[in-house]
Amino acid sequence: MKKYDYDIVIIGAGGAGITASFTGNGFKKKVLLVEKNKIGGECTHSGCVPSKALIKAAKLTYNVTTLKDYSIDLKYKLNTENVMDYVKSIVNKVYEEEKPHSFEERGISVLKGHASFINSNTISVNGENITGKNFIIATGTSPKLPPIKGIDSDYILTNETIFNLEKLPKSMGVIGAGAIGIELAQALNRLGVSVDILLRGDRILKKEEKETSKRIEDILLGEGIEIHKNVKLKKIEDGTIHYLDNGNMGYFSSFEKILVATGRKPNLDNMNLKKIGVDYDSNKIIVNDKLQTSVSNIYAAGDIAGPYRFSHMAEYQGFIAAFNCIFPVKKKTDYSQVLWTTFTDPEISHIGYTEEEAHKKYDNIKVYTETYSHLDRAITDNEQGFVKVICHKDNIVGAHIIGNRAGELIHEIQMLKKFNIPIKKTADMIYAYPTYSDIIRKIGKKAYLDYLNNNLIVKTIKNISK
């Protein structure tokens, strides 16, 4: 007689939950996937997919406005009335591959409803008790709104509601200057929305290199976006944002809509985690390096576990959590290879330490940079940008790219970093010409020349030949 209904019960069907379900199923385990909304989670319905569709539409619109730079004359009239229909169509296209039947055809059971724990081996969904040997909590996060008056008004949008709009507003205030706020601000502005960004600090994209965030700021300003720094919000009233400046009350003129992108909070409501002994705080479920919670047969993965809230990290954790549910020898998470891309135009990609962080961590670092202005393909495409690679001895400890195709270029550096291959090894590789990837070889050449100039034998020969 079976002891449990399922080997693995996964609560939440976003990136982490989907990956975990496929992994468990791939190892011939009986898997249940529980989701109270639609499968796909935030990424499919209110994150990666709709935002990139909107960004693509905005990029095409912007490209038309720059045709004169290529000596092309085109008369046009901008009409974005149906752009949100396009965004919704892309979401639906992706969701077609994530509907319950596609999982059930693989042998993964799917149940729609809210799950709450009765004990460490039992949950209740829609009044039905379900038992499992192991559980993976992958319920994700939701927008965290600042505690100010009027934040619950009809003017307010978050990433969960903005893509439900039928038409774009004429004006929008964007509160928050992280990746979500900046990506959407630029896209909306390019589609004809008058955009103001409000941030409480003095720098947008504060996790990036200072030089990188400054370049993006200059681009946004050049495209007509207003950026207001060190803003202390007080209240929102009839689309008007009231703020405090050196003790004096001020306000920003009425916006048709206001997008709030100021952080995230964990989705833990009514799950009875405290009752069964699962530890959590206001930001996340607390896990060890094997993604186990304080209850050993219950794991957490994805945004709900942190520390990095990206879809690719959710997939990474989803695999590890499922693996550890199955095998006695547990895998550990390794965050030394974390990378991310912010899909502004131009794109920004980031691995490891910034230059400032690396200087604090190591006594001796080498920084190699190359600009797109020395790259023939970028010149023909009229693109600007740069690549920076930060090394300690021969090891890559950080890399930063701003420019066209940054999100693709970063993976070559990621591979070098992961397998401890010095960047100088790319110096004698043959790269196709003209390509953006050739900029990695150019940096490799600089590192190789640096190596030669500091080589004792080379130094000796130079001294003899003087």
CB 293 within 8 A of CB 117: no
**Residues in binding site for NAD(+):** 176-183, 263
d(CA 22, CA 13): 11
d(CA 42, CA 374): 39
Cβ neighbour number for residue 31 with a 10 Å cutoff: 28
d(CA 138, CA 17): 6
Determine the pLDDT at residue 265.
Answer: 96
Determine the pLDDT at residue 248.
Answer: 72
d(CA 242, CA 11): 40
Cβ neighbour number for residue 384 with a 10 Å cutoff: 16
Q: Which fold has domain 346-457?
A: Enolase-like; domain 1 (3.30.390)
Identify the burial level of 161 via C-beta atoms within 10 angstroms of its C-beta, where 0-12 means exposed, 13-18 middle and 19 or more buried: middle
d(CA 409, CA 418): 15
Please name the amino acid found at residue 19.
T
d(CA 220, CA 324): 45
For domain 6-142+265-334, give its CATH number from 3.40.50.720, 1.10.275.10, 3.50.50.60, 3.40.50.150. Answer: 3.50.50.60
Distance of CA 349 to the CA centre of its chain: 10
- Cα–Cα separations (whole angstroms), residue 411 to 54, 249, 437: 24, 47, 10
Query: Mean pLDDT for each consecutive 10-residue tract of the chain (466 residues)?
Result: 90 98 98 97 95 97 92 89 96 95 96 97 97 98 94 94 96 96 98 95 96 97 95 90 78 90 95 97 97 98 96 97 97 96 98 96 95 97 97 96 98 97 96 97 96 78 70
CB 84 within 8 A of CB 165: yes
d(CA 381, CA 66): 12
- Positive or negative: CA dihedral 215, 217, 220, 224: negative
93 Rama class: left (phi>0) / alpha (psi -120 to 50) / beta? alpha
> φ and ψ at 221, to 5 degrees?
-60, -40
Rounded to 10°, the helix 210-222/179-190 angle is: 20
d(CA 189, CA 170): 10
User: Which CATH code for domain 156-263?
Assistant: 3.50.50.60
Domains 156-263 and 346-457 belong to one CATH topology: no
d(CA 350, CA 313): 14
- The contacts of residue 66 (CB under 8 Å, 6+ apart) are none
> φ and ψ at 68, to 5 degrees?
-60, -25
Determine the pLDDT at residue 179.
Answer: 96
**Residues in binding site for FAD:** 52, 303
Determine the pLDDT at residue 454.
Answer: 83
**Residues in binding site:** 52, 176-183, 263, 303
Determine the pLDDT at residue 462.
Answer: 66
Structure tokens at 440: 């990695």
Determine the pLDDT at residue 239.
Answer: 87
Determine the pLDDT at residue 157.
Answer: 97
How many helices (H) and strands (E) the chain has is answered by 14, 22
Residues 124-182: pLDDT tens digits?
Answer: 999 999 999 999 999 999 999 999 999 988 999 999 999 999 999 999 999 999 999 99
Residues 230-259: pLDDT tens digits?
Answer: 999 999 998 899 987 666 778 887 899 999
CB 405 within 8 A of CB 438: no
- Positive or negative: CA dihedral 357, 358, 364, 367: negative
Determine the pLDDT at residue 250.
Answer: 81
Determine the pLDDT at residue 246.
Answer: 64
DSSP 8-state class, residue 401: E
Q: Which residues of 274-297 are buried (b: 16+ CB within 10 A; e: fewer)?
A: eebebebeeebbebeeebbbebee
Determine the pLDDT at residue 74.
Answer: 87
User: How do the domains of the chain map onto residue ranges?
Assistant: 6-142+265-334, 156-263, 346-457
